[in-house]
Chains A and B, each alone.
Chain A
Amino acid sequence: MTTATLFTPALIGPAIGDAFTKLDPRQLVKNPVLFTTAVVALLLTVLLFIGGTSLSLSFQVQLIVWLWLTVLFGTFAEALAEGRGRAQAASLRATKSELTARLPNGKTVPASQLKKGDIVLVETGDLIPADGEVIEGVASVNESAITGESAPVIREAGGDRSAVTAGTRVISDRIRVRVTQEPGQGFLDRMIALVEGAERQKTPNEIALTILLVGLTIIFLIAVSTIPGFAAYAGGQVPVAILAALLITLIPTTIAALLSAIGIAGMDRLVRFNVLAKSGRAVEAAGDIDVLLLDKTGTITIGDRAASEFRPLGGVTTDELARAALLASLADETPEGRSIVTLAQGRYAVEIRSLPKTAEVIPFTAQTRISGVRIGTTLIQKGAVDAVLRANPGLGETATGGDLRRIAEEIARQGQTPLAVAEDGRLFGVIALKDVVKAGVRERFGELRRMGIRTVMITGDNPLTAAAIAAEAGVDDFLAEATPEDKLALIRKEQQGGRLVAMCGDGTNDAPALAQSDVGVAMNTGTQAAREAGNMVDLDSDPTKLIEIVGLGKQLLMTRGALTTFSVANDIAKYFAIIPAMFVALYPSLGVLNVMQLSSPQSAILSAIIFNALIIPALVPLALKGVKYRPIGAGPLLARNLAIYGLGGVLAPFAGIKLIDLVVAGLGLA
């Protein structure tokens, strides 16, 4: 997906237009604080024509203009955020509109007419018309329209790779697809709606924050509307325009104007990161995660294990073992098999390069869990320790069988996987397969720990191996020999303790756990069932991303909190600008409260309202980019943000209003 920069003319132009259309009261009312501002601006505009105030016309006009600008800056911020997403949506929509579907009876219909359960045929060069499941055939599919990744992926009937997405192109072969989504609810549709932000639902935290903002607005409305009564007691009056200025500067216009932009931008960041969240709630939940369940393979270790050592049993030389292991592995095309070949030929200098023509390869099966080779009458077997012992009855009870077990256990304790090698019913020794922990994961888990997040490694390995890898990688805990049921039980247990759990998965058997977890990230290569069960889909199918997703969730929440705090803290300076200006006519001595030494009452009021308006566009970049998240623990993070946005929020407007006052007075505007 293309990365748009923050402010391109192509985005700003339409956003300005949209800022005006968003003034439609039906739309504006969804943002109560901006709506209040607009109502006040309208009231003053009407009063301007009625007249009957002591204030100068120029002052009133300027005030009204800035009030309207405050509203427009707010709608502009929202429009700009939406605009960034809309550019992406437009290209997606273009893909969608040209989709057609070929039915089994040979007819071609527009994709929009497809219903759930329909069967369609897709051939080389065709775009897949709807989300669905391959029910027949194998094909390579280019999914770059969705993921941005141009390398084709294999999609085939049955198993964990059966899901296909609308808008992706089949580049070889032919498949039969059963449609799994009703029209308008497919992946592409959801993605368009999300990046556009048009159908955006407020998230629970946004709703709560909006309530707080409305509450503050009501409180300040009470505070301001009682002032005329107080002034009357003091034998004077305060013009409506000045009361309006005080009200608008006090109510939290800054955060109200930026709130939806923050939400849209947060979602947008996730989409740019090639993760599709099905709801904003999921993104918020990501910030709250306490426990991360990470699959060992691919996340903590690089997917493939590599042979690290040959351990012969008594009476067998290392060379003999290496030779046998090499012969058993030459035909094994798995990365593990190849690593055994490399080790034997390299470190152990076995000179064999290929199998003799007469060799008969015994392939690995799930039942025997043994592979090997028969050369003439010699049978070499290679496999899991217990599988090799089972295949050679009686060996287990011998002394060498005991030795084998002991060595295997020792290897397992080091976090390696033992493979036994036997030749003609005689145990030769053990190949140690080492899990290679990814570079840098230890540091990442350390970071997570400082963020207060516990990592749990999920693996099918036995507990000994799992413990050793867990220690090497620095995870907090592990679940060994994990079945999908174990995973589900673990999630439930953590949630019972009040913790929020995130995990990722791809297989159909992961679906219950994905659905149960608070943040379930399904791999895009996974099954349709998994993609349905999760509340996020990672288009790159990279399980490591779970960590970044948590960071993005936190960033979204932090940005919201930082700007709320800033907005609330601003009120102190605004009071000190407007209160003396408002009351100095009643009690001239109250001029001492004019701590900023603003040049005149009118200039003070104007400066406060200008600051209040200009701070919105000034903070738009921050709202869109987000406050940077640092994994330094909640305490230091709060100290840092409180210093910047809390203390900064108290001090910045003092400086800002003073500067604006200098300009306003200098230009003779008031």
Chain B
Amino acid sequence: MTVQGWMLILVFLILLVALAKPMGSWLFAIYEGRRTPLHVVLGPVERGFYKLAGVDPNAEQGWRRYALHMLAFQLATFAFTYCVLRFQDVLPLNPRGLAGQSPDLAFNTAVSFTTNTNWQSYSGESLSILSQMLGLAIHNFLSAATGIAIAFALFRGFARRQAAGIGNFWADMTRVTLYVLLPACIVYAIFLIASGVPQTFLTSVDATTLEGARQTILMGPVASQEAIKMLGTNGGGFFNANSAHPFENPGALTNFVQMLSILVIGTGLTHTFGRAVGNTRQGWAILAAMLVMFVAGTTVTYWQEAAGNPALHHLGLAGGSMEGKEVRFGIAASALFSVVTTAASCGAVNAMHDSLTPLGGMIPLFNMQLGEVVIGGVGAGIYGFLLFAILAVFVAGLMVGRTPEYVGKKIESREVKLAVLAIAVLPLMILGGTALASVLPAGLAGPLNKGPHGFTEILYAFTSATANNGSAFGGLSANTPFYNGMLGAAMWVGRFFIIVPALAIAGSLAAKKVHPESAGSFPTTGLLWVGLLVGIVLILGGLTFLPSLALGPIADHLAMIHGQLF
């Protein structure tokens, strides 16, 4: 580990925290439906959309209606993307004449982008321009907006008193897309173009290498997709190499900005939550708990990557592990990137996670197993974290001698039932899927490596899919009907079996009275609460995965120390 490396991490953290308030305030204005300077230009567009769709943005929806409209919208866009991918061979804008995807691959890919996962069973280069732009890029916006909309709905549950509605799904979607994602991405894309990221309808250029060989270099509208890929924590790369590709991520500056842009909306939403419930310290407490876990994870990964592989040291290769890393980023920036991308549900990578040291790679895995609540994906991070907060209040809140309440709302059987249901989805799909793949021949055919490392490859795939991360550990041949189907199911369940309970909780909470805070209320700000949150996330969210981690990365690590590699 170097001073330079730590400085990078420190500056990153400072900027991240500094951006939380402005970002959160902007999101709060949109949450409230307030007029912003952007309304001068985009207001008519927004109203035009409503008129076109016949939507009354002020019509409050109860949670069932909100959830129903959300699900219908997801199913419709899923079906649309499935068709675009399946039949890209006969659709326009396919200058390279690429074939349509197979049914299982198209299913997997469409689910993947609908659920903000962006797991890529296909390789980015096998898609037509139409598929990239109409099939996938659209979801980059919509799935991100969906996540934020759900977070808004849950915030309203906490903030409102004795209300029947939790907002309007269409209004939330439109406003988030129009006033947050779209303008931010335009600015961001321009920055990327200026930094050297291509933005063109040309599909490739031919270059002559120094040896005189002809090389075809693929290009395309990369910058625009890159912007939303990061801001919307989508992570689906234009190229298969993702952010390790120089056209996606040309240098140190773009790398730094990309990492920030992955987390900026997630951290901002913690502040928005605080504003929504009328006490910004509530938001800061959540962010603090997230950052404790984030810093701990970053430390482990950076330390392990910098320590390197003892087996290679014996061969005289001193220093940290550079396998699978880009020389232009180095160890610290790669380690930080891999923690950032899995803390959020992004899944973009600038280094190959399969090549991380076992414990260095365990942190990204563990981040996702916690349900990506360490800052987390846009919207998904905060609504997932609030589910844990509900359980934390419920377990420990009684210890102050009152029935549990969080930001003034009583936490009762209904909320507990729904929160547990949502959290149980993670072990069910991750561990259940991994166990199944570990015994079925179709599953066993997947991993490239043997031993615990191979096991980690399977575990990582199911974890990444269920947590809607989409990053690939690599080493797993996932483009098979078995994995496409299983992982597709994991992505769908991991997304909507958490969103629907979260909306139900929002509905249940919105209908309740607000209990004013007093000296006798359970304190949900301050260090004690931060510690409690971390404890509950680790014990209820993390411990379940300890057996799988012991048999995967931990066994892998111990073997490596003893000089055995897989």
Bound-complex Cα distance A635 to B554 (A): 38
Bound-complex Cα distance A188 to B173 (A): 61
Q: Given the known A-B contacts A204-B413, A646-B535, are A229 and B435 also in contact in the complex, defined by CB atoms under 8 Å?
A: yes
Q: Given the known A-B contacts A215-B421, A575-B543, are A222 and B431 also in contact in the complex, defined by CB atoms under 8 Å?
A: yes
- How far is the CB of B343 from the nearest CB of chain A, in Å? 22
Residues from chain B with Cβ under 8 Å of A583 in the complex: 547, 550-551, 555
Bound-complex Cα distance A63 to B163 (A): 53
Evaluate contact between B544 and A287: CB separation under 8 angstroms: no
Residues from chain B with Cβ under 8 Å of A55 in the complex: none
- How far is the CB of A198 from the nearest CB of chain B, in Å? 23
Q: Given the known A-B contacts A583-B550, A635-B526, are A571 and B539 also in contact in the complex, defined by CB atoms under 8 Å?
A: yes
Q: Which of A352-360, A449-457, A612-620 contacts B (4 or more CB under 8 A)?
A: A449-457
Bound-complex Cα distance A205 to B404 (A): 9
Evaluate contact between B420 and A634: CB separation under 8 angstroms: no
A4 contacts B by Cβ under 8 Å = no
Evaluate contact between A452 and B396: CB separation under 8 angstroms: no
Q: Given the known A-B contacts A229-B439, A554-B402, are A204 and B558 also in contact in the complex, defined by CB atoms under 8 Å?
A: no
Residues from chain B with Cβ under 8 Å of A646 in the complex: 396, 532, 535
Contact with B398, one of A452, A560, A580 (Cβ below 8 angstroms): A560
Residues from chain B with Cβ under 8 Å of A569 in the complex: 535, 539
What string of 1s and 0s marks CB contacts (under 8 Å) between B537-566 and chain A? Answer: 001100111111011001100110110000
Interface size for chain B: under 10, 10 to 19, 20 to 34, or 35 or more residues? 35 or more
Evaluate contact between B540 and A226: CB separation under 8 angstroms: no
Evaluate contact between A229 and B551: CB separation under 8 angstroms: no
Contact with A634, one of B431, B522, B535 (Cβ below 8 angstroms): B522
Evaluate contact between B435 and A205: CB separation under 8 angstroms: no
Bound-complex Cα distance A535 to B135 (A): 62
A480 contacts B by Cβ under 8 Å = no
A592 contacts B by Cβ under 8 Å = yes
Q: Which of B51-59, B176-184, B513-521 contacts A (4 or more CB under 8 A)?
A: B513-521
Query: CB-nearest residue of chain B relative to A500?
Result: B515
What string of 1s and 0s marks CB contacts (under 8 Å) between B416-429 and chain A? Answer: 11001101100110
Bound-complex Cα distance A561 to B558 (A): 39
Bound-complex Cα distance A342 to B408 (A): 54
Evaluate contact between A579 and B435: CB separation under 8 angstroms: no
Beta-carbon contacts under 8 Å, A471-499 to B: 497-499
Residues from chain B with Cβ under 8 Å of A240 in the complex: none
A162 contacts B by Cβ under 8 Å = no
Beta-carbon contacts under 8 Å, A61-79 to B: none
Evaluate contact between B395 and A568: CB separation under 8 angstroms: yes
B32 contacts A by Cβ under 8 Å = no
Evaluate contact between A234 and B416: CB separation under 8 angstroms: no
Q: Is the interface of B mostly helix, strand, loop or mixed?
A: helix
Bound-complex Cα distance A553 to B400 (A): 11
Evaluate contact between B516 and A499: CB separation under 8 angstroms: yes
Residues from chain A with Cβ under 8 Å of B516 in the complex: 290, 497-499
Evaluate contact between B401 and A633: CB separation under 8 angstroms: no
Evaluate contact between A561 and B515: CB separation under 8 angstroms: no
Evaluate contact between A572 and B543: CB separation under 8 angstroms: yes
Contact with A208, one of B394, B423, B561 (Cβ below 8 angstroms): B394
Bound-complex Cα distance A223 to B430 (A): 10
Query: CB-nearest residue of chain B relative to A210?
Result: B413
Question: How many A-B pairs with Cβ below 8 Å?
Answer: 223
Residues from chain A with Cβ under 8 Å of B532 in the complex: 642, 646
- How far is the CB of A448 from the nearest CB of chain B, in Å? 9
Evaluate contact between B551 and A453: CB separation under 8 angstroms: no
Contact with B438, one of A230, A450, A499, A575 (Cβ below 8 angstroms): A230
Residues from chain A with Cβ under 8 Å of B408 in the complex: 498
Query: CB-nearest residue of chain A relative to B409?
Result: A498
Bound-complex Cα distance A579 to B552 (A): 13
Bound-complex Cα distance A582 to B562 (A): 21
Residues from chain B with Cβ under 8 Å of A231 in the complex: 551
B403 contacts A by Cβ under 8 Å = yes
Contact with A557, one of B403, B411, B528, B544 (Cβ below 8 angstroms): B403
Beta-carbon contacts under 8 Å, A275-292 to B: 284, 287-288, 290
Evaluate contact between A638 and B522: CB separation under 8 angstroms: yes
A565 contacts B by Cβ under 8 Å = yes
B523 contacts A by Cβ under 8 Å = yes
Query: CB-nearest residue of chain A relative to B536?
Result: A568
A348 contacts B by Cβ under 8 Å = no
Evaluate contact between A230 and B435: CB separation under 8 angstroms: yes
Residues from chain A with Cβ under 8 Å of B454 in the complex: 233
- How far is the CB of B455 from the nearest CB of chain A, in Å? 5
- How far is the CB of B477 from the nearest CB of chain A, in Å? 16
Residues from chain A with Cβ under 8 Å of B399 in the complex: 558, 561-562, 565, 637-638, 641-642, 645
A1 contacts B by Cβ under 8 Å = no
Bound-complex Cα distance A245 to B427 (A): 20
What string of 1s and 0s marks CB contacts (under 8 Å) between B439-450 and chain A? Answer: 100001000000
Most B C-beta atoms less than 10 A away, residue of A223, A572, A592: A223
Contact with B518, one of A225, A452, A555, A593 (Cβ below 8 angstroms): A452
Contact with B396, one of A226, A561, A629 (Cβ below 8 angstroms): A561
Evaluate contact between A208 and B402: CB separation under 8 angstroms: no
Evaluate contact between A215 and B539: CB separation under 8 angstroms: no
- How far is the CB of B50 from the nearest CB of chain A, in Å? 35
Evaluate contact between A226 and B431: CB separation under 8 angstroms: yes
Add 19 more A-B contacts to A568-B540, A569-B535, A580-B550 (CB < 8 A): A205-B398, A205-B404, A208-B412, A215-B417, A216-B420, A218-B424, A226-B548, A228-B435, A229-B434, A229-B435, A230-B435, A230-B455, A233-B454, A290-B516, A557-B398, A558-B401, A590-B558, A635-B526, A642-B528
Interface residues of A (CB under 8 A from B): 204-205, 207-209, 211-212, 215-216, 218-220, 222-223, 225-234, 284, 287-288, 290, 449-454, 497-499, 553-555, 557-558, 560-562, 564-565, 568-569, 571-572, 575, 579-580, 582-583, 586-587, 589-590, 592-593, 629, 633-635, 637-639, 641-642, 645-646
Pairs A-B, 6 closest by C-beta atoms: A452-B520, A561-B398, A554-B401, A229-B435, A215-B420, A452-B518
